[in-house]
Amino acid sequence: MDESEFEGWYLLHHARLVNSLYLVCGNSDVAREATDEAFARAASRWSQVREMESPIGWTYKVALNRLRRDTKRRRRESVLWQKRSSSDRPVPLLEHPEVWDAVRALPPKQRTAIVLRYVADRPEAEIADILGVSRSTVASNLTRARAALADMLGDQRQSEVDRD
């Protein structure tokens, strides 16, 4: 692949495609995702795409197809969500919001282990299987997460006591 040729073509057309898709869908993140996927596909097939009558036309088609597919999926998800009874919806974790703020502040591996153990109520062995790691890794992540939470929440609770 001639990278400089592709790079020049990409730089020439990328912003216009993003802007075009944004005007179609009204969401800049969705427009960027569809555009980036289309250009990634063009890059992976550049030797074929560059020989097409209109390489950018093909890229617009790929991007618009992605946009349509995503729009249909979001509509289906919305309809399914609306059909669910209120008892099927996740319960907001309103009790002790400071705890959940602290959990969200944990590193991703620790946060995931804590959620699977204490929210999903999964045993360590199953968490290890879900995450594709050893049970000792899960135990270590849980230990570190609990220690971090104790530090975070202990500091927060102490500051609340100091204020009173």
Per-residue model confidence as pLDDT tens digits over 9-54: 999 999 999 999 999 888 899 999 999 999 999 999 999 999 999 9
Q: What is residue 120's predicted lDDT score, i.e. its pLDDT? A: 82
Q: What is the DSSP string of 56-105?
A: HHHHHHHHHHHHHHHHHHHHHHHHHHHHS-GGGSPPP--SSHHHHHHHHH
Please name the residues in contact with 5: beta carbons below 8 A apart, sequence gap of 6 or more: 46, 50
91 or 32, which is more confident? 32
Spatial distance between the Cα atoms of 62 and 56, rounded to a whole number of angstroms: 10
In the chain, where the domains are located: 3-87, 97-163
Q: Residue 62, class by beta-carbon neighbours within 10 Å (0-12 exposed, 13-18 middle, 19+ buried)?
A: buried
Q: What is the pTM of this model?
A: 0.50
What CATH class is the domain 97-163?
A: mainly alpha
Q: What is the spatial distance between Cα 91 and Cα 118, in angstroms, rounded to a whole number?
A: 14
Q: Is the pLDDT of residue 115 over 90?
A: no
**Between 159 and 16, whose confidence is greater?**
16
Distance of alpha carbon 60 from alpha carbon 41, whole angstroms: 11
pLDDT tens track for 45-84 = 999 999 999 999 999 999 999 999 988 888 888 888 777 6
Residue entry with tokens 């968490």: 127
**DSSP, residue by residue, 26-48:** S-HHHHHHHHHHHHHHHHHTHHH
pLDDT at 164 over 50: no
Residue 112, burial from CB neighbour count under 10 angstroms (0-12, 13-18, 19+): middle
pLDDT for 90: 55
